[in-house]
Amino acid sequence: MSAAVIEGNDAVTGHIISTTIGGKNGEPKQTISYMAERVVGTGSFGIVFQAKCLETGETVAIKKVLQDRRYKNRELQLMRLMDHPNVVSLKHCFFSTTSKDELFLNLVMEYVPETMYRVLKHYSSMNQRMPLIYVKLYTYQIFRGLAYIHSVPGVCHRDVKPQNLLVDPLTHQVKLCDFGSAKVLVKGEANISYICSRYYRAPELIFGATEYTTSIDIWSAGCVLAELLLGQPLFPGENAVDQLVEIIKVLGTPTREEIRCMNPNYTDFRFPQIKAHPWHKVFHKRMPPEAIDLASRLLQYSPSLRCTALEACVHPFFDELLTRSVTRFDQQAHTRACAAANWSQLPTSSWYVNVKPDVMRKSTLVVMNVKPRMASFAVYVTEHSGLMSSFFLPPVKMYTYILAVQLNLEIGDSVYYVILAKIYYFPTSVHCFDRKDSRARSIKGDAIHVYLSSYVGAAEA
């Protein structure tokens, strides 16, 4: 991928930026031009502006970062690894220079019009709290995105906050963005502790820990959840010390053991002894107990005690987003579908007949521990892989990414479907049915867990 040189004073808006994308596999090179329309974000990293592709009319976001010629850009390297519905996608990138011979990296990404921060401001300006269903829709997708980046590329975002969560106001889809602070954490390797925006900074970072884990993202996501529920930040510290004070006001003074869990090298234990404030008193009286329970599981001093992003996805707080029941189970259709897909016939199990949230959660944990060769009841696919066609169900289900995967197993006039009750991610290899050659094969990465239920006729799916 080569880039044209932009001449002039390097103003942003109103300029046309042209770049040439190198052809692959014998394809000709293509020139793409962008008209920079308006600045949508600035910071120490550089600038983000909205632009329009002159060839296609597509609106994109371009992040322009001053590049040190001596180093590779970590954000670019990480974004090339990721492909997920809840992570902003990188379309391509190019370099540009100025008359001062400064080198800039331009990351061309999909454009999402709103941020969680602006959505919160909208409700605050109307003196309202965000509707609970939106809190569930948004936070579920945050954890879904985190489950992906933590397990597949193994990336820690290190700056989860409302400003870095994009929201499509039409579909309510949420996407993690700004991987400028992100890093693949390696056990035993030190990292900087002065990371993450203050209100969302995990306590182990405040205690100076350098060997932390992706659980710092879980703390940040817990702070975002609390902010969506409260309508304001839970821990609004004015500086690093005050940030710890705000946390202690709610969680109480950490014990020596908790401090050791956060930073084994920390030796100053002189803190005023303050009792924890009951979580049910932190939120208003009508707050659902499931919301309070999830917040309490995310915001723990000990990083290892915080639930993972995947565990958060199956928390009862999100039960409303699940299908309440699966329509009738057709044993004959199931038998024919298994035979056509070359699956071994297994006994009928209640976890895919009239599935209830509690049963689904328990069954999910069981299936996650089943070895791939034994997982005949579940179909595993990858998103954006083309291995199976998929489409969205009605809008409410679309927001929770409940999909129907069409197997195209036609017998007479019937078409059989497998209904996806919920999505989970697996860092290990799983089996996948490939429609192209009708053979099972192993895949790695962003796997989806599909509950197997067969139906006669498309109308019933």
Nearest-CA neighbor of 178 among 140, 130, 220?
A: 220
Give the C-alpha separation, 230 to 216, whole Å: 21
Q: Is 357 helix (H, G, I), strand (E, B) or coil?
A: helix
Q: Looking at residue 83, what DSSP letter applies?
A: -
Beta-bridge partner residues of 90: 109
Name all contacts of 65-73 with Cβ < 8 Å and 24+ positions apart: 65/104, 65/105, 65/106, 65/107, 65/180, 66/102, 66/103, 66/104, 67/95, 67/103, 67/104, 67/105, 69/103, 73/105
- CA-to-CA separations, 13 to 52, 177, 444, in angstroms, rounded: 11, 22, 42
Q: Is 146 helix (H, G, I), strand (E, B) or coil?
A: helix
Q: Report yes or no: 202 and 212 within 8 Å, Cβ to Cβ.
A: yes
Beta-bridge partner residues of 378: 451
Q: Is 172 helix (H, G, I), strand (E, B) or coil?
A: coil
Which of the residues 68, 101, 159, 446 is marked catalytic?
Answer: 159
Three-point CA angle 199, 202, 207, nearest 5°: 110
Name all contacts of 267-276 with Cβ < 8 Å and 24+ positions apart: 274/248, 274/249, 276/250, 276/251, 276/252
Q: Is 459 helix (H, G, I), strand (E, B) or coil?
A: helix
Residue 318 tokens, joined: 């999100």
Whether 121 has a binding-site annotation, put simply, is no
| 159 catalytically annotated | yes
Residues carrying an active site annotation: 159
Sequence ranges of the binding site for ATP: 64
Sequence ranges of the binding site: 64
